Amino acid sequence: MKSRFERIALLGRTHQPPTASVAASTRDVLLQLSECLHNKGADVFLERETADHCNLSDFPVLSLEEIGKTCDLALIIGGDGTMLSHGRRLAPMGVPLIGINQGRLGFMTDIPLQRMVETLSPMLDGQFDEERRSMIQAEVWRDGRCIFQALALNDVVVNRGGTSGMVEFRIEVDGHFVANQRADGLIIATPTGSTAYSLSAGGPVLQPSVAGWVMAPIAPHTLSNRPLVLSNATTISVELVGGRDASANFDMQSLASLLMGDKIVVRKSPHEARLLHPKGLTFFDTLRKKLHWNEGGV
C-alpha cells in the first residue's frame, strides 16, 4: 500500500558533538528508514544539519524551514531531547511528528529502534493516533521591555547559579499575588514536561490532554511550598527578587541570564505539537513501560 504521506523528512541528533559511533549508528538507521519509505512510494528528504552530522550526501537535503513548508511528515530519530529540539521549531508550521527512540528513556519518541520498520509500516498507511501537545510561550522582561522570548514544549525553569545560594521570586497568576518563595528554583511544565524535570522535583504526572500547567518549586526553603496544577489559560509571572547568577531555561536548550527585578512571563502558545503514535498505544502504556510500573506483576 502506498504511503498516505508523500514527502517525508528525516531528522536526527544535531545538538551533541558528533562521534564516530553515534554518527554511524544514526546513519544506518537513516538508510534503513529511507529504504522503507521509498518502498512505500514516498519522497524522502534529510534535514541539512542531520545530513552533515552523519556525512550523508546521497539524499536531497532541506533546511528546517523548508521542511516545515514542503513536507507532510517528519520522522525524528533520537531521544526526547532531539524531539524537543526539532519539534519545538516544526510545531508552528503544523508538521506531524513521529519519534523513533535512539535515546534512553523516550516518553515522546515511542517507537523502539529495534521494531521501527514493522511499527512504521501501518502508520504510513494511515493507522495511527494523533495527539496535540500544548506549548508554552515565555518572555523575559527587564525595565519594561521584552529582552528574550522562546517556545517550550516541556518546561520553563528558573534556576539559581551554580555557586550561589537560593533564589527568591515573587509569583503572580493572572495578576493575583500567589507567594514569595525561596528555593533552588521553580519549574513551570506542560503536561508533556510533567514527566521530565518536574517529576524529579516531586510534581504530578499530567495526562497530555489536561489543559493545565504544573508549577513545582525545586528544593523549597519552606516545605509547605508544594507543586500546584494551574489552568493553562492563565498567565504566570515570576519576578526575581533575591539571589545571584540566576537564569531561565527553556526546554533546557535555550537560556537567558537574569538580573534582579527581571520577570519571566509564561502563557499558553497558540501553537501545538502534532505527535503521531502507533494505533492503540496509550499514555498509560508509555508510563508503565518507561517508569517500570508493575514489574514482577502479572
- Which candidate in 58, 80, 110, 262 is catalytic? 80
**Strand order through the sheet with 254-257:** 228-231, 212-218, 185-189, 155-159, 247-250, 254-257
Within-domain flag for 189: yes
- pLDDT tens digit string along 55-65? 888 889 999 99
Assess whether 221 and 121 both reside in one domain: no
Residue 80 appears among annotated catalytic residues: yes
C-alpha–C-alpha distance, residues 145 and 140, integer Å: 8
> Running DSSP on this structure, what letter comes out for residue 192?
G
Assess whether 76 and 152 both reside in one domain: no
What is the span of the domain harbouring residue 29?
Answer: 7-126
The whole-number average pLDDT for the span 60-83 is 94
Within-domain flag for 154: yes
C-alpha–C-alpha distance, residues 248 and 255, integer Å: 6
The whole-number average pLDDT for the span 72-100 is 94
C-alpha–C-alpha distance, residues 177 and 180, integer Å: 9
Do the Cβ atoms of 67 and 90 come closer than 8 Å? yes
Q: Of 83, 107, 126, which one is at a domain's C-terminal end?
A: 126
Assess whether 165 and 57 both reside in one domain: no
Contacts of 179 (CB under 8 A, 6+ apart): 170, 171, 225
Task: Between 29 and 176, name the one with better pLDDT.
Answer: 176
- pLDDT tens digit string along 196-220? 999 999 999 999 999 999 999 999 9
Do the Cβ atoms of 246 and 239 come closer than 8 Å? no
Assess whether 98 and 144 both reside in one domain: no
Q: How many domains does the chain have?
A: 2
Q: Which of 102, 100, 76 is nearest to 89 (CA)?
A: 76
The whole-number average pLDDT for the span 160-186 is 92
Query: pTM of the entire structure?
Result: 0.91
C-alpha–C-alpha distance, residues 120 and 29, integer Å: 13
For the domain that residue 252 is a member of, what is the CATH number?
2.60.200.30
Do the Cβ atoms of 255 and 247 come closer than 8 Å? yes
21-25, 35-39, 100-104, range with greatest mean pLDDT: 35-39
Q: What pLDDT score does 297 carry? A: 54
Which three-class secondary structure state does DSSP give residue 14? coil
